Structure 1
Protein backbone atom coordinates (compact mmCIF):
# COMPACT_ATOMS: atom_id res chain seq x y z
CA UNK A 1 0.00 0.00 0.00
CA UNK A 2 1.34 3.44 -0.94
CA UNK A 3 -0.16 6.17 1.22
CA UNK A 4 -0.05 9.95 1.10
CA UNK A 5 -0.82 11.50 4.49
CA UNK A 6 -1.75 15.16 4.00
CA UNK A 7 -0.95 16.87 7.28
CA UNK A 8 1.65 14.31 8.31
CA UNK A 9 3.29 16.78 10.69
CA UNK A 10 0.10 17.03 12.77
CA UNK A 11 -0.77 15.05 15.89
CA UNK A 12 -3.01 12.51 14.17
CA UNK A 13 -1.23 12.65 10.82
CA UNK A 14 2.08 11.78 12.43
CA UNK A 15 0.56 8.79 14.20
CA UNK A 16 -1.01 7.57 10.95
CA UNK A 17 2.44 7.84 9.33
CA UNK A 18 4.10 5.88 12.15
CA UNK A 19 1.56 3.09 12.11
CA UNK A 20 1.49 2.97 8.32
CA UNK A 21 5.26 2.43 8.22
CA UNK A 22 4.99 -0.21 10.97
CA UNK A 23 2.39 -2.02 8.84
CA UNK A 24 4.81 -2.13 5.91
CA UNK A 25 3.22 0.64 3.89
CA UNK A 26 5.16 3.07 1.72
CA UNK A 27 4.26 6.43 3.28
CA UNK A 28 4.67 10.01 2.08
CA UNK A 29 3.75 12.68 4.62
CA UNK A 30 3.21 16.35 3.89
CA UNK A 31 3.89 19.36 6.06
CA UNK A 32 3.60 23.11 5.69
CA UNK A 33 5.88 24.71 8.28
CA UNK A 34 6.75 21.91 10.69
CA UNK A 35 8.34 18.51 10.20
CA UNK A 36 6.92 15.01 10.00
CA UNK A 37 9.82 13.47 11.92
CA UNK A 38 8.81 9.83 11.42
CA UNK A 39 11.54 7.42 10.35
CA UNK A 40 10.79 5.76 7.05
CA UNK A 41 8.41 8.49 5.86
CA UNK A 42 9.23 10.51 2.75
CA UNK A 43 8.44 14.18 3.44
CA UNK A 44 7.01 16.72 1.01
CA UNK A 45 6.22 20.37 1.63
CA UNK A 46 2.68 21.23 0.59
CA UNK A 47 0.34 24.20 0.77
CA UNK A 48 -3.13 22.64 0.51
CA UNK A 49 -4.62 26.02 -0.47
CA UNK A 50 -2.63 25.81 -3.74
CA UNK A 51 -4.82 23.59 -5.91
CA UNK A 52 -2.24 23.02 -8.64
CA UNK A 53 0.48 22.20 -6.12
CA UNK A 54 -1.79 19.57 -4.58
CA UNK A 55 -2.54 18.07 -7.99
CA UNK A 56 1.16 17.98 -8.93
CA UNK A 57 2.16 16.22 -5.72
CA UNK A 58 -0.59 13.62 -5.87
CA UNK A 59 0.20 12.94 -9.54
CA UNK A 60 3.88 12.50 -8.60
CA UNK A 61 3.28 10.19 -5.62
CA UNK A 62 0.49 8.17 -7.28
CA UNK A 63 -0.81 6.87 -3.94
CA UNK A 64 -3.24 4.02 -3.45
CA UNK A 65 -4.77 5.95 -0.57
CA UNK A 66 -4.82 9.58 0.54
CA UNK A 67 -5.43 10.35 4.20
CA UNK A 68 -6.49 13.98 4.60
CA UNK A 69 -5.86 15.31 8.11
CA UNK A 70 -4.80 18.92 7.42
CA UNK A 71 -6.86 21.68 9.01
CA UNK A 72 -6.52 25.04 10.72
CA UNK A 73 -9.24 26.11 13.16
CA UNK A 74 -9.07 29.77 12.13
CA UNK A 75 -8.47 29.37 8.40
CA UNK A 76 -11.30 28.50 6.01
CA UNK A 77 -8.97 28.18 3.03
CA UNK A 78 -6.99 25.38 4.69
CA UNK A 79 -9.89 23.52 6.31
CA UNK A 80 -12.53 23.79 3.58
CA UNK A 81 -10.83 24.75 0.31
CA UNK A 82 -7.79 22.59 1.08
CA UNK A 83 -10.00 19.54 1.64
CA UNK A 84 -11.68 20.13 -1.73
CA UNK A 85 -8.30 20.38 -3.48
CA UNK A 86 -7.08 17.15 -1.91
CA UNK A 87 -10.29 15.32 -2.81
CA UNK A 88 -10.11 16.48 -6.42
CA UNK A 89 -6.47 15.45 -6.77
CA UNK A 90 -7.09 12.05 -5.19
CA UNK A 91 -10.01 11.42 -7.52
CA UNK A 92 -7.87 12.31 -10.54
CA UNK A 93 -5.48 9.44 -9.83
CA UNK A 94 -8.15 7.03 -8.56
CA UNK A 95 -6.83 6.97 -4.99
CA UNK A 96 -8.94 5.86 -2.03
CA UNK A 97 -9.68 8.93 0.16
CA UNK A 98 -10.00 8.93 3.94
CA UNK A 99 -11.07 12.42 4.99
CA UNK A 100 -10.84 13.40 8.66
CA UNK A 101 -13.81 15.41 9.85
CA UNK A 102 -14.95 16.55 13.28
CA UNK A 103 -17.81 16.58 15.77
CA UNK A 104 -17.41 20.38 15.70
CA UNK A 105 -19.75 20.52 12.69
CA UNK A 106 -22.68 19.73 15.02
CA UNK A 107 -24.38 22.27 17.29
CA UNK A 108 -25.16 19.96 20.20
CA UNK A 109 -28.37 18.29 21.39
CA UNK A 110 -29.61 15.97 24.17
CA UNK A 111 -29.35 12.80 22.04
CA UNK A 112 -26.23 11.34 20.36
CA UNK A 113 -25.49 12.07 16.71
CA UNK A 114 -25.67 9.22 14.20
CA UNK A 115 -23.29 8.83 11.26
CA UNK A 116 -25.57 10.43 8.69
CA UNK A 117 -26.95 13.30 10.78
CA UNK A 118 -26.78 16.55 8.80
CA UNK A 119 -24.21 19.10 10.05
CA UNK A 120 -25.57 22.04 12.08
CA UNK A 121 -22.52 24.25 12.61
CA UNK A 122 -22.68 27.19 15.00
CA UNK A 123 -19.19 28.64 14.66
CA UNK A 124 -16.71 29.26 11.80
CA UNK A 125 -14.59 26.15 12.33
CA UNK A 126 -17.66 23.90 12.36
CA UNK A 127 -18.92 25.58 9.20
CA UNK A 128 -15.55 25.02 7.51
CA UNK A 129 -15.58 21.32 8.42
CA UNK A 130 -19.15 21.01 7.11
CA UNK A 131 -18.16 22.71 3.85
CA UNK A 132 -15.17 20.38 3.55
CA UNK A 133 -17.45 17.36 3.86
CA UNK A 134 -19.80 18.73 1.21
CA UNK A 135 -16.95 19.26 -1.23
CA UNK A 136 -15.47 15.81 -0.60
CA UNK A 137 -18.82 14.06 -1.05
CA UNK A 138 -19.48 15.84 -4.35
CA UNK A 139 -16.01 15.17 -5.75
CA UNK A 140 -15.68 11.60 -4.48
CA UNK A 141 -18.84 9.80 -3.30
CA UNK A 142 -16.73 6.75 -2.45
CA UNK A 143 -14.61 8.59 0.13
CA UNK A 144 -15.08 7.87 3.82
CA UNK A 145 -15.56 10.90 6.07
CA UNK A 146 -14.32 10.10 9.56
CA UNK A 147 -16.16 12.23 12.10
CA UNK A 148 -14.15 12.12 15.29
CA UNK A 149 -13.90 13.95 18.61
CA UNK A 150 -11.23 15.22 21.01
CA UNK A 151 -8.00 13.31 20.31
CA UNK A 152 -6.00 12.22 23.35
CA UNK A 153 -2.49 10.87 23.75
CA UNK A 154 1.05 11.91 24.56
CA UNK A 155 1.45 15.47 23.30
CA UNK A 156 -2.29 16.04 22.81
CA UNK A 157 -3.35 19.68 22.89
CA UNK A 158 -6.51 18.55 24.69
CA UNK A 159 -4.45 17.20 27.60
CA UNK A 160 -2.35 20.36 27.63
CA UNK A 161 -5.51 22.51 27.75
CA UNK A 162 -6.62 20.55 30.82
CA UNK A 163 -3.24 21.05 32.49
CA UNK A 164 -3.41 24.77 31.73
CA UNK A 165 -6.89 24.97 33.27
CA UNK A 166 -5.68 23.10 36.35
CA UNK A 167 -3.01 25.79 36.71
CA UNK A 168 -5.56 28.57 36.24
CA UNK A 169 -4.28 29.54 32.79
CA UNK A 170 -7.33 28.36 30.78
CA UNK A 171 -11.03 27.61 31.22
CA UNK A 172 -12.81 24.29 30.79
CA UNK A 173 -16.54 24.30 30.03
CA UNK A 174 -18.95 22.18 32.03
CA UNK A 175 -21.60 22.11 29.28
CA UNK A 176 -19.40 20.90 26.40
CA UNK A 177 -19.67 17.11 26.16
CA UNK A 178 -17.49 15.10 23.79
CA UNK A 179 -16.44 11.48 23.21
CA UNK A 180 -12.62 11.58 23.37
CA UNK A 181 -10.62 9.02 21.42
CA UNK A 182 -7.03 7.82 21.71
CA UNK A 183 -4.77 8.95 18.87
CA UNK A 184 -3.48 5.39 18.39
CA UNK A 185 -6.97 3.90 18.26
CA UNK A 186 -8.02 6.52 15.72
CA UNK A 187 -4.93 6.00 13.58
CA UNK A 188 -5.51 2.24 13.52
CA UNK A 189 -9.13 2.85 12.50
CA UNK A 190 -7.95 5.15 9.69
CA UNK A 191 -5.60 2.46 8.36
CA UNK A 192 -8.42 -0.08 8.41
CA UNK A 193 -10.73 2.28 6.57
CA UNK A 194 -8.03 3.03 4.01
CA UNK A 195 -8.11 -0.63 3.03
CA UNK A 196 -11.91 -0.83 2.84
CA UNK A 197 -14.81 0.35 0.71
CA UNK A 198 -16.72 2.11 3.49
CA UNK A 199 -18.11 5.39 2.14
CA UNK A 200 -19.79 8.49 3.50
CA UNK A 201 -19.80 9.84 7.07
CA UNK A 202 -18.69 7.47 9.82
CA UNK A 203 -18.47 8.37 13.50
CA UNK A 204 -15.19 7.12 14.97
CA UNK A 205 -14.91 8.27 18.57
CA UNK A 206 -14.67 6.89 22.08
CA UNK A 207 -17.71 5.25 23.70
CA UNK A 208 -17.66 7.41 26.82
CA UNK A 209 -19.00 11.00 26.84
CA UNK A 210 -17.34 13.48 29.17
CA UNK A 211 -17.47 17.25 29.59
CA UNK A 212 -14.31 19.25 29.10
CA UNK A 213 -14.37 19.99 32.84
CA UNK A 214 -14.81 16.28 33.53
CA UNK A 215 -11.83 15.56 31.30
CA UNK A 216 -9.85 18.03 33.37
CA UNK A 217 -10.66 16.09 36.54
CA UNK A 218 -9.56 12.82 34.92
CA UNK A 219 -6.28 14.43 33.83
CA UNK A 220 -5.78 15.75 37.37
CA UNK A 221 -6.27 12.29 38.83
CA UNK A 222 -4.04 10.67 36.21
CA UNK A 223 -1.15 13.05 36.90
CA UNK A 224 -1.66 13.55 40.62
CA UNK A 225 -2.61 17.22 40.32
CA UNK A 226 -4.84 18.95 42.88
CA UNK A 227 -7.98 19.96 40.92
CA UNK A 228 -8.87 22.75 43.36
CA UNK A 229 -7.34 25.39 41.11
CA UNK A 230 -9.12 24.27 37.94
CA UNK A 231 -10.99 27.08 36.19
CA UNK A 232 -14.44 26.14 34.83
CA UNK A 233 -17.43 27.94 33.32
CA UNK A 234 -20.38 27.42 30.99
CA UNK A 235 -20.32 28.60 27.40
CA UNK A 236 -23.39 30.75 28.13
CA UNK A 237 -21.73 32.48 31.07
CA UNK A 238 -18.66 33.07 28.93
CA UNK A 239 -20.80 34.60 26.18
CA UNK A 240 -19.57 32.12 23.58
CA UNK A 241 -21.37 30.40 20.71
CA UNK A 242 -19.86 26.92 20.62
CA UNK A 243 -21.04 23.33 20.17
CA UNK A 244 -22.30 21.99 23.50
CA UNK A 245 -23.56 18.43 24.07
CA UNK A 246 -22.02 16.68 21.04
CA UNK A 247 -21.95 12.94 21.61
CA UNK A 248 -21.15 10.73 18.63
CA UNK A 249 -22.78 7.32 18.30
CA UNK A 250 -19.93 5.18 16.95
CA UNK A 251 -21.77 1.86 17.11
CA UNK A 252 -21.56 1.34 13.34
CA UNK A 253 -17.77 1.81 13.40
CA UNK A 254 -17.54 -0.69 16.25
CA UNK A 255 -19.23 -3.32 14.07
CA UNK A 256 -17.11 -2.50 11.00
CA UNK A 257 -13.65 -2.23 12.56
CA UNK A 258 -11.31 -4.61 14.34
CA UNK A 259 -9.82 -1.67 16.26
CA UNK A 260 -11.21 -1.27 19.78
CA UNK A 261 -12.15 2.32 20.55
CA UNK A 262 -11.35 2.76 24.23
CA UNK A 263 -13.22 5.05 26.63
CA UNK A 264 -11.68 8.07 28.30
CA UNK A 265 -11.71 6.55 31.79
CA UNK A 266 -9.62 3.62 30.56
CA UNK A 267 -7.30 5.93 28.65
CA UNK A 268 -6.67 8.11 31.71
CA UNK A 269 -6.70 5.41 34.37
CA UNK A 270 -4.38 5.89 37.34
Structure 2
Protein backbone atom coordinates (compact mmCIF):
# COMPACT_ATOMS: atom_id res chain seq x y z
CA UNK A 1 0.00 0.00 0.00
CA UNK A 2 1.34 3.44 -0.91
CA UNK A 3 0.73 6.02 1.81
CA UNK A 4 1.51 9.74 1.73
CA UNK A 5 2.21 11.07 5.23
CA UNK A 6 1.72 14.82 5.19
CA UNK A 7 3.68 16.24 8.08
CA UNK A 8 5.77 13.10 7.87
CA UNK A 9 8.97 14.63 9.23
CA UNK A 10 7.57 15.72 12.62
CA UNK A 11 7.36 13.98 16.00
CA UNK A 12 4.40 11.77 15.11
CA UNK A 13 4.81 11.70 11.34
CA UNK A 14 8.36 10.40 11.35
CA UNK A 15 7.33 7.55 13.64
CA UNK A 16 4.29 6.73 11.49
CA UNK A 17 6.48 6.55 8.39
CA UNK A 18 8.92 4.23 10.14
CA UNK A 19 6.14 1.95 11.45
CA UNK A 20 4.38 1.68 8.10
CA UNK A 21 7.57 0.97 6.19
CA UNK A 22 8.54 -1.69 8.75
CA UNK A 23 5.20 -3.37 8.01
CA UNK A 24 5.98 -3.57 4.32
CA UNK A 25 4.06 -0.55 3.06
CA UNK A 26 5.46 2.33 1.02
CA UNK A 27 5.08 5.34 3.30
CA UNK A 28 6.48 8.60 1.96
CA UNK A 29 6.92 11.69 4.18
CA UNK A 30 5.91 15.11 2.87
CA UNK A 31 6.39 18.51 4.52
CA UNK A 32 7.60 22.02 3.67
CA UNK A 33 11.14 20.65 3.85
CA UNK A 34 10.32 18.27 1.00
CA UNK A 35 8.66 21.00 -1.07
CA UNK A 36 5.01 20.58 -0.07
CA UNK A 37 2.91 23.68 0.64
CA UNK A 38 -0.59 22.78 1.84
CA UNK A 39 -1.78 26.39 1.86
CA UNK A 40 -0.49 27.32 -1.59
CA UNK A 41 -1.01 23.83 -2.99
CA UNK A 42 2.52 23.47 -4.36
CA UNK A 43 3.60 19.84 -4.51
CA UNK A 44 0.21 18.35 -3.58
CA UNK A 45 -0.53 16.67 -6.90
CA UNK A 46 2.92 15.12 -6.97
CA UNK A 47 2.67 13.94 -3.34
CA UNK A 48 -0.65 12.18 -3.97
CA UNK A 49 0.14 10.63 -7.35
CA UNK A 50 -0.58 6.90 -7.18
CA UNK A 51 -1.33 7.04 -3.45
CA UNK A 52 -3.86 4.74 -1.75
CA UNK A 53 -4.01 6.58 1.59
CA UNK A 54 -3.16 10.10 2.70
CA UNK A 55 -2.42 10.77 6.37
CA UNK A 56 -2.54 14.41 7.43
CA UNK A 57 -0.44 15.12 10.52
CA UNK A 58 0.26 18.77 9.83
CA UNK A 59 -0.30 21.49 12.39
CA UNK A 60 -1.05 25.18 12.15
CA UNK A 61 1.87 27.51 12.90
CA UNK A 62 -0.10 29.21 15.71
CA UNK A 63 -2.67 28.23 18.35
CA UNK A 64 -4.69 31.43 18.01
CA UNK A 65 -7.68 32.41 15.86
CA UNK A 66 -5.54 32.27 12.71
CA UNK A 67 -5.42 28.48 13.10
CA UNK A 68 -9.08 28.28 12.08
CA UNK A 69 -8.46 29.61 8.57
CA UNK A 70 -5.23 27.60 8.33
CA UNK A 71 -7.02 24.31 8.90
CA UNK A 72 -9.90 25.26 6.61
CA UNK A 73 -7.66 26.13 3.66
CA UNK A 74 -5.22 23.27 4.18
CA UNK A 75 -7.99 20.67 4.40
CA UNK A 76 -9.89 22.06 1.40
CA UNK A 77 -6.72 21.92 -0.68
CA UNK A 78 -5.76 18.44 0.51
CA UNK A 79 -9.18 16.90 -0.07
CA UNK A 80 -9.57 18.46 -3.51
CA UNK A 81 -6.19 17.07 -4.54
CA UNK A 82 -6.97 13.69 -2.98
CA UNK A 83 -10.26 13.43 -4.85
CA UNK A 84 -8.54 14.28 -8.14
CA UNK A 85 -5.88 11.64 -7.43
CA UNK A 86 -8.58 9.11 -6.48
CA UNK A 87 -7.10 8.53 -3.05
CA UNK A 88 -9.18 5.88 -1.28
CA UNK A 89 -8.73 6.92 2.36
CA UNK A 90 -7.83 10.09 4.28
CA UNK A 91 -6.73 9.99 7.93
CA UNK A 92 -6.26 12.88 10.36
CA UNK A 93 -5.03 13.12 13.94
CA UNK A 94 -7.22 15.03 16.39
CA UNK A 95 -7.68 15.44 20.15
CA UNK A 96 -9.85 13.69 22.72
CA UNK A 97 -12.44 16.18 23.98
CA UNK A 98 -11.66 18.70 21.25
CA UNK A 99 -15.35 19.52 20.82
CA UNK A 100 -15.79 20.18 24.55
CA UNK A 101 -13.46 23.20 24.83
CA UNK A 102 -14.97 25.87 22.54
CA UNK A 103 -13.18 28.65 24.43
CA UNK A 104 -9.91 27.59 22.77
CA UNK A 105 -9.42 28.88 19.23
CA UNK A 106 -7.10 26.00 18.39
CA UNK A 107 -9.60 23.38 19.54
CA UNK A 108 -12.34 25.03 17.50
CA UNK A 109 -9.95 24.91 14.54
CA UNK A 110 -9.41 21.17 15.02
CA UNK A 111 -13.18 20.60 15.20
CA UNK A 112 -13.47 22.48 11.91
CA UNK A 113 -10.76 20.24 10.43
CA UNK A 114 -12.78 17.18 11.45
CA UNK A 115 -15.97 18.65 9.99
CA UNK A 116 -14.33 19.49 6.66
CA UNK A 117 -13.04 15.92 6.43
CA UNK A 118 -16.44 14.43 7.25
CA UNK A 119 -18.15 16.54 4.58
CA UNK A 120 -15.46 15.89 1.97
CA UNK A 121 -15.33 13.53 -1.00
CA UNK A 122 -12.80 11.03 0.39
CA UNK A 123 -13.57 8.10 2.74
CA UNK A 124 -12.02 8.99 6.08
CA UNK A 125 -10.83 8.04 9.55
CA UNK A 126 -10.32 10.39 12.50
CA UNK A 127 -7.91 9.32 15.25
CA UNK A 128 -8.38 11.27 18.48
CA UNK A 129 -5.69 11.05 21.16
CA UNK A 130 -4.92 12.66 24.48
CA UNK A 131 -1.93 14.93 25.14
CA UNK A 132 1.57 13.54 24.50
CA UNK A 133 4.04 12.98 27.34
CA UNK A 134 6.55 14.87 25.20
CA UNK A 135 4.36 17.97 25.40
CA UNK A 136 4.88 18.49 29.14
CA UNK A 137 8.19 20.28 28.62
CA UNK A 138 6.46 22.85 26.41
CA UNK A 139 3.68 23.30 28.97
CA UNK A 140 6.26 23.91 31.70
CA UNK A 141 7.66 26.84 29.72
CA UNK A 142 4.40 28.71 29.16
CA UNK A 143 4.03 30.58 32.46
CA UNK A 144 7.31 30.21 34.32
CA UNK A 145 10.22 32.11 35.81
CA UNK A 146 13.40 31.13 37.62
CA UNK A 147 11.52 30.07 40.74
CA UNK A 148 7.99 29.02 39.83
CA UNK A 149 5.89 27.30 37.17
CA UNK A 150 2.20 28.16 37.14
CA UNK A 151 -0.15 25.39 35.97
CA UNK A 152 -3.88 24.78 36.25
CA UNK A 153 -5.34 21.69 37.93
CA UNK A 154 -6.82 20.56 34.60
CA UNK A 155 -7.38 16.81 34.44
CA UNK A 156 -5.48 15.10 31.61
CA UNK A 157 -4.78 11.50 30.55
CA UNK A 158 -1.54 11.71 28.57
CA UNK A 159 0.11 9.05 26.42
CA UNK A 160 3.40 8.34 24.68
CA UNK A 161 3.87 9.66 21.15
CA UNK A 162 5.04 6.19 20.09
CA UNK A 163 1.57 4.82 20.91
CA UNK A 164 -0.04 7.76 19.11
CA UNK A 165 1.97 6.82 16.03
CA UNK A 166 0.94 3.16 16.33
CA UNK A 167 -2.72 4.20 16.48
CA UNK A 168 -2.38 6.37 13.38
CA UNK A 169 -0.51 3.64 11.51
CA UNK A 170 -3.21 1.10 12.37
CA UNK A 171 -5.96 3.41 11.12
CA UNK A 172 -4.03 4.13 7.93
CA UNK A 173 -3.91 0.51 6.79
CA UNK A 174 -7.44 -0.37 7.92
CA UNK A 175 -10.72 0.26 6.17
CA UNK A 176 -12.00 3.85 6.44
CA UNK A 177 -13.89 4.24 9.72
CA UNK A 178 -16.26 6.91 8.45
CA UNK A 179 -16.01 7.98 12.06
CA UNK A 180 -13.67 8.47 15.00
CA UNK A 181 -11.49 6.19 17.12
CA UNK A 182 -10.07 7.50 20.42
CA UNK A 183 -6.98 6.58 22.44
CA UNK A 184 -5.75 7.67 25.88
CA UNK A 185 -3.04 6.95 28.41
CA UNK A 186 -3.51 4.58 31.37
CA UNK A 187 -3.29 7.28 34.08
CA UNK A 188 -5.17 10.47 34.91
CA UNK A 189 -3.25 13.41 36.39
CA UNK A 190 -4.00 17.01 37.11
CA UNK A 191 -1.65 19.13 35.03
CA UNK A 192 -0.08 20.79 38.09
CA UNK A 193 0.55 17.33 39.60
CA UNK A 194 2.20 16.11 36.40
CA UNK A 195 4.32 19.27 36.33
CA UNK A 196 5.62 18.54 39.84
CA UNK A 197 6.52 14.97 38.84
CA UNK A 198 8.28 16.17 35.69
CA UNK A 199 10.34 18.79 37.54
CA UNK A 200 11.28 16.40 40.35
CA UNK A 201 12.48 13.66 38.02
CA UNK A 202 14.95 16.00 36.36
CA UNK A 203 16.11 17.71 39.54
CA UNK A 204 14.48 21.04 38.73
CA UNK A 205 13.93 22.87 42.04
CA UNK A 206 11.27 25.26 40.76
CA UNK A 207 7.94 25.16 42.56
CA UNK A 208 4.69 24.46 40.73
CA UNK A 209 2.00 26.94 41.73
CA UNK A 210 -1.56 25.84 41.01
CA UNK A 211 -3.21 28.59 39.00
CA UNK A 212 -6.48 27.70 37.30
CA UNK A 213 -6.23 30.72 35.01
CA UNK A 214 -2.79 29.87 33.62
CA UNK A 215 -2.11 28.63 30.09
CA UNK A 216 -4.33 27.33 27.32
CA UNK A 217 -5.46 24.25 29.25
CA UNK A 218 -7.14 26.44 31.85
CA UNK A 219 -10.07 26.59 29.43
CA UNK A 220 -10.70 22.84 29.74
CA UNK A 221 -13.19 22.22 32.51
CA UNK A 222 -13.93 19.03 34.44
CA UNK A 223 -13.26 15.86 32.47
CA UNK A 224 -13.30 17.46 29.03
CA UNK A 225 -9.87 16.05 28.15
CA UNK A 226 -10.38 12.64 29.78
CA UNK A 227 -11.13 9.55 27.69
CA UNK A 228 -14.74 8.49 27.29
CA UNK A 229 -15.99 4.90 27.56
CA UNK A 230 -15.32 4.09 23.90
CA UNK A 231 -11.60 4.96 24.03
CA UNK A 232 -8.78 2.44 23.74
CA UNK A 233 -6.46 2.73 26.76
CA UNK A 234 -2.79 2.25 25.84
CA UNK A 235 -0.17 0.70 28.12
CA UNK A 236 2.77 3.02 28.74
CA UNK A 237 2.69 4.93 32.05
CA UNK A 238 4.42 8.25 32.56
CA UNK A 239 7.15 6.78 34.77
CA UNK A 240 7.78 3.97 32.28
CA UNK A 241 8.14 6.57 29.56
CA UNK A 242 10.53 8.65 31.67
CA UNK A 243 12.64 5.60 32.49
CA UNK A 244 13.08 4.84 28.79
TM-score range, shorter chain: 0.7 to 0.9
| Structure 1 position 261, deviation (Å) | 4.1
Report what 1:234 is aligned to: 212
Report what 2:128 is aligned to: 147
Question: CA-to-partner distance for each residue in 1:157-209, whole Å, 9 max, x for gaps?
Answer: 43343377676488443332222111111101111111112331221221322
Contact 2:123 2:178 in 1 (8 A): yes
Question: CA-to-partner distance for each residue in 1:22-76, whole Å, 9 max, x for gaps?
Answer: 33332221222xx5xxxxxxxx3212112x436413443x222211111122433
Q: 1:47 aligns with which of 37, 43, 49?
A: 37
Report what 1:244 is aligned to: 221
Question: CA-to-partner distance for each residue in 1:112-144, whole Å, 9 max, x for gaps?
Answer: xxxxxxxx5212111111111110001157311
**Aligned runs of 1:109-120 on 2, under 5 Å?**
none
Equivalent-residue separation in structure 2 for 1:122 and 1:164 (angstroms)? 18
Question: CA-to-partner distance for each residue in 1:53-109, whole Å, 9 max, x for gaps?
Answer: 36413443x2222111111224333333212322333344233211111236233xx
TM-score (ref. length: structure 1)? 0.74
Equivalent-residue separation in structure 2 for 1:123 and 1:21 (angstroms)? 36
Report what 1:199 is aligned to: 178
Equivalent-residue separation in structure 2 for 1:54 and 1:101 (angstroms)? 24
Report what 2:102 is aligned to: 121
Q: 1:64 aligns with which of 52, 72, 75?
A: 52
Contact 2:98 2:225 in 1 (8 A): no
| Structure 1 position 5, deviation (Å) | 0.9
Report what 2:116 is aligned to: 135
Report what 2:96 is aligned to: 103
Q: Residue 230 of structure 1: SS of its match in structure 2?
A: strand
Q: Residue 9 of structure 2: SS of its match in structure 1?
A: coil
Q: CA RMSD in A?
A: 3.1
Report what 1:181 is aligned to: 159
User: Any unmatched runs of 5+ in structure 1?
Assistant: 36-43, 108-119
Does the C-alpha gap of structure 1 residues 165 and 229 become closer, same or farther in structure 2, counting only changes over 3 Å?
A: farther
May I ask how many residue pairs the two structures share in their alignment? 237
Equivalent-residue separation in structure 2 for 1:85 and 1:169 (angstroms)? 46
